[in-house]
Chains A and B, each alone.
Chain A
Amino acid sequence: MVSKSNISGLKIKQGDFEIKISNKGDEVYTNGVPVAVQQMPVFQPQTVTSTVAQPTPAEATAAKQDAEPANSFTFKSPMIGTFYRKPTPDKDVFVKVGDVIKNGDVLCVIEAMKLFNEIEFDGGEGRVIKILAEDSSPVEYDQPLFLIEKVN
């Protein structure tokens, strides 16, 4: 994995798909490109040296960048559908960066087949650090939606 190499960080760009890897652990961060238009990378080494293992396509399992606080985690989508930050277009977003959230708080709505599902936070108590998916964009199961910093 990246941590075994001497590379401190690298960036791979292929079409609309981008990966940034930092060497502060094995975690990988991808920018929130809507999944539906992504080209899946195949088993080819790209512009990377062979000591770096290819990450599994598209999905981030956690996000941790150089500037991020230790003790943060991603909240991932529990279903496939279209991600909405607001209950209706004329209302305000459910949560914004800086908000403190707790179990049961509605973070977003994910719509599939004309059914709107309110998605509740279940990670204890935290503060929203970053929004990882674009409003009104398609998201797949397990796709990172929010970067949350643990509080307490």
Chain B
Amino acid sequence: MFKKVLIANRGEIALRIIRTCREMGIKTVAVYSTADRDSLHVRFADEAICIGPPRGKDSYLNIQNIMAAAELTAADAIHPGYGFLAENAVFAETCAKYGIKFIGPTAAHIRAMGDKITAKETMIKAGVPCIPGSDGLIESIADAKRLAKKIGYPVILKATAGGGGKGMRIVREESEIERAFNTAKTEAGAAFGNDGMYVEKFIEEPHHIEIQVAGDQYGGATHLSERDCSVQRRHQKLVEEAPSPFIDEKIRKKMGDAAVKAVEAIKYESVGTIEFLVDKHKNFYFMEMNTRIQVEHPVTEEVMDFDFIKEQILIASGQKISGVKYFPDKMHAIECRVNAEDPFNNFAPSPGKITALHTPKGYGVRVDTHIYAGYTIPPYYDSLLAKVICRAKTREECIVKMRRSMQEFIIEGVKTTIPFHLALIENAEFRSGNYDTGLLDRFDFVSAMREMKSE
């Protein structure tokens, strides 16, 4: 087992990893930029080392600095968390080259699934249902028009190197496609350094339902059922739950089997997630695979009583997957992401000093966070403040608990999305359990929040 793990990340996930390492008797090294000097992960790691100035590219994204830190502290493994270098094949390769274990899949796995077009080809070969679309990159506007006509409008143009909603455009008719193609291409080039585009059928009212998976170096592969992540704003997840209220045992089995096929097809090692889009007829289509731990992993942990970070570390150290199966009718869990953003003002970022803090507690309430009273949120990184995960025997009880938790949650000094979550919990569509990724386009949450305020 590893003696010392360096966490190449920050914020709540760095703390999360430190906690599990502590429990496993593994020493921890925190790396931090000068903007994160007062961050909690720096305090709680066994050692901490400053690797650069605030900007990501000079610190958390800087492979050389992180490897130097690992070398200086004699770390024998690196956990990349999520975001930053978690899906950077060059980083995984560099770790391997220097004999430091990257706690995650291999560079080959990352590459295979990182390029969306290659990933899709691999999945089609493995017999995993995929969204009808172009076989490769779109060569020209004429090509785009031809493909779109063949697939049938509406279509969506997507960047092959994409993520986080960038380089994507929905096109409903041919007259729109030229402009959409050009702007998406430009955006993709700027965001990812790669402006390659492909096109797919746009699934209307899709449900984003993902399957948690795990694989090991011995060919072991398993799935740990689904999370419903359909509550999204501009392709960013805000709320997740398990099990999905939209699918039943039959669909779960089909999706789970497809996900295992995907893991076996690439001989995937470590934990990961296969994201599917499910249409209103419950047909499911492979969208992409995330070859890392996800932000919303606690939702599955809570319904399964399972530590995914521990599983990652065990798999990385050469052990077989635990092979745990998930039994969906035991528990339900919902996670709300609380961000430092103003939901009354188009979710404008709100960095600053937290002057007062009280996190919700009590039975069935878990809060994963790095913030504390007196902490100043730096403006350089993401706006995630805390993840509140509620767990109960039924979805209804979960919702009641989430309402109580959001009412109890006090953060002063910065604007947060707590009012948004309080409004969402009362939304009829969300409550029905049958909601798709278009929910927030339909839900006038600003009015709902205002009404709640005046009550």
**A interface residue numbers (CB < 8 A to B):** 35-36, 38-40, 42-43, 56-59, 79-82, 112-113, 115, 138, 140-143
A138 to B29, CA, bound (A): 15
Stretch of B42-50, B153-161, B327-335, B355-363 at the chain-chain interface: B42-50
Contact partner of A59 (CB less than 8 A), chosen from B37, B51, B71, is B37
* B67 in the interface (beta carbon within 8 A): yes
A132 to B362, CA, bound (A): 50
The interface residues of chain B lying within 8 Å CB-to-CB of A59 are 37, 50
- Judging by beta carbons under 8 Å apart, are A42 and B68 in contact? no
- Judging by beta carbons under 8 Å apart, are A36 and B68 in contact? no
* B interface residues, tally (CB under 8 Å): 26
Give the interface SS of chain A, mostly helix, strand, loop or mixed.
Answer: loop
The interface residues of chain B lying within 8 Å CB-to-CB of A39 are 46-47
With A40-B45, A57-B42 in contact, is A113–B68 under 8 Å at CB? yes
**B interface residue numbers (CB < 8 A to A):** 33-34, 37-38, 42-53, 59, 64-65, 67-69, 71-73, 98
With A56-B38, A113-B64 in contact, is A141–B72 under 8 Å at CB? no
With A59-B50, A142-B34, A143-B50 in contact, is A43–B68 under 8 Å at CB? no
With A38-B47, A40-B43 in contact, is A141–B38 under 8 Å at CB? no
- Nearest opposing residue in chain B for A137, CB measure: B72
- Judging by beta carbons under 8 Å apart, are A141 and B45 in contact? no
Closest 4 CB pairs of A and B: A112-B68, A138-B72, A140-B50, A141-B50
Name the residue among A58, A112, A113 with the largest chain B CB count within 10 angstroms. Answer: A113
A59 to B35, CA, bound (A): 13
The interface residues of chain B lying within 8 Å CB-to-CB of A112 are 64-65, 67-68, 71
With A57-B42, A80-B69 in contact, is A141–B47 under 8 Å at CB? no
- Nearest opposing residue in chain B for A41, CB measure: B43
- Nearest opposing residue in chain A for B44, CB measure: A42
Smallest CB separation, A62 vs chain B (Å): 14
The interface residues of chain A lying within 8 Å CB-to-CB of B73 are 36
The interface residues of chain A lying within 8 Å CB-to-CB of B71 are 112-113
